[in-house]
Amino acid sequence: MDEIEVGDIVVVNFHNVMSTLTKRAEVLRVPHATGDSWRFKDTDKGVIHYVSEGCTITLLEKRKGAC
């Protein structure tokens, strides 16, 4: 099973408010401990998002060069 890693392309949804943060984003940082946040770069707008609350992240593409 693949894990989401830095460089992967994902979609980020907040299902509790039925809202999509970004339909296509590159993962810049994956949280590793309590208090850490996800970091995403919207591939369409270039905006960087820091996400520390509950969301659903769906893998769309593995980063280029990943095995």
Annotated domain spans of the chain: 9-61
> What pLDDT does residue 1 have?
47
Give the tokens for residue 67: 């095995």
- 54 φ/ψ angles, rounded to the nearest 5 degrees: -60, 130
The pLDDT-based confidence of 67 (bands split at 50, 70, 90) is: low
Distance CA 55, CA 22 (A): 11
Q: What is the pLDDT of residues 25-56, one digit of tens each?
A: 999 999 998 889 999 999 999 999 999 888 89
| pLDDT, mean of residues 7-30 | 90
> What pLDDT does residue 18 have?
79
